[in-house]
Structure 1
Amino acid sequence: MGAESVPRREVVTGRPSTDRTGRTRLPRPRPATARADDDSAVRSLMRRQIRAALTATLLLAASLGLLPVLLRMLPPADTWPSIWLVLGVAPYPALLCTGAWYVHRAEGNEGDVTAR
């Protein structure tokens, strides 16, 4: 096995840009300040997304955690047979509302960062 010339691997994402003479231009490196701004924006977005996720988790834990208290306050199951209705239906509005709020909040957070 001899020393063969192996071509350099390149990632192609589109047609290469050329200047007026037809030579391929290399992309300009971004200034370090732009990269630092991007890093801080990403960190800020991550903090906001984590805060929204923790808020949604706490809302669900509080609302669904109170379900046993509600069931304890209801009459015994033999006089009130629709206890399964409470167990089967009551959690879903809380799940849907919290999920819709979280998606709206997450998209808003991402929109704030991309609008900069």
Structure 2
Amino acid sequence: MGAEPTPRREVVTGAPAGRTRAPYPDSSAHDDLAVRKLMRRQVRTGLVACSLLALPLGLFPVVFRLLPDGDTSRGAVWLLLGVAPYPVLLATGAWYVRRAERNEGDVNGR
């Protein structure tokens, strides 16, 4: 029961030289097209979700500038900062998840 030699460590940064990647046996042009279509739809969905979040949250400085100075507006500012973003975040997140699952279901044929 002697000590077994440890295997030589290798750093893998890509495919071995001289080898090409074999295509999957069931891949076809139709599958590639479906994946590209899914990726475009998911990117579009993500951009819409980001814009739905950026627009209302980006308008906060404008709303703060329009509010008059005083003690009553200070409470409104904190209410706006502390409460208003969360329903927007939750609604946008729920919409995004439903839309992303629908996109994947359309590609998978469900």
Larger Rg: 1
Equivalent position of 1:53 in the other structure:
46
Structure 1 match to 2:91: 97
Aligned length: 85
- Does 2:81 match 1:87? yes
* Gaps in structure 2 of 5+ consecutive residues: 1-24
Normalised by the size of structure 2, how large is the TM-score?
0.69
Matched ranges for 1:25-64 at <5 A: 29-30=25-26, 35-64=28-57
* d(CA) in 2 for partners of 1:79, 1:48: 45
RMSD between aligned residues:
1.6
User: RCO (CA 8 Å, sep 6+): is it higher in 1 or 2?
Assistant: 2
TM-score, normalised via structure 1 length: 0.66
Match of 2:67 among 61, 74, 77: 74
Cα deviation for residue 77 of structure 1 reads: 4.3
% identity of equivalent residues: 64
Q: Which residue of 2 aligns with 1:109?
A: 103
Instruction: Provide runs of 4+ in structure 1 moved above 4 Å.
Output: none
Gaps of 5+ in 1: 1-28
Higher helix share: 2
